[in-house]
A = this chain, B = another copy of it.
Amino acid sequence: MYPNDGFRELGRQECLRLMTKVPVGRIVFTRGALPAVLPVNFGLDDDGAVLLRTSAASDLVRAVEGAVVAFEADDVDAARQSGWSVVVTGSATVVTDAAEHERLARTGPASWVPAPQEAFIRIEPELVTGRELVGGRTLYGVDIGT
């Protein structure tokens, strides 16, 4: 699924629109000099920033604060060998502003595992890339047969 052809590149707005269709993505970061990846539920802010809600005491907060991370979401139909994948790459910060924290507590993603003290992580949408698999059996949604 990674040749240079067989895919259609997606525009930024299309990427952000697709991301709203799935509740879970994966944050990609570095932990102890090793690549790390973790599925998390997420939300999108109005400007396209990825919002995560987690325990303020979590390893994730410590690992990503101030770092450039990637956040991936996808929806792939293996039987049809079709689907899309979007990656948002940018700086991750923990929201410290009280008013902003309060806003996100109301409008941001829900917590799947509530913690005594929660933190919001914001990933800036500095780079938004995505692509649709069109080289498999399915081309733009039209099954062209096996």
Contact = CB atoms under 8 A, between A and B. Distances in A.
B78 A38 contact: no
A37 B41 contact: no
Most buried by B among A35, A68, A72, A83: A35
B1 A39 contact: yes
A108 interface: no
A123 to B, nearest CB: 11
B39 A35 contact: no
A75 to B, nearest CB: 10
Contacts of A68: 34-35
A7 B2 CA distance: 32
Interface in A2-61: 2-7, 23-24, 26, 28-30, 34-41, 54-55, 57-60
Contact of A54 (B3, B7, B70): B3
Interface string A80-120: 01010101010000000000000000000000110100000
Contacts of A35: 28-30, 35, 68-70, 89
A143 to B, nearest CB: 15
Most buried by B among A23, A37, A54, A89: A37
Most buried by B among A34, A40, A74, A85: A34
Can you list the 7 inter-chain pairs with the closest CB atoms, starting with the nearest? A6-B113, A23-B78, A3-B55, A113-B135, A35-B70, A2-B60, A37-B72
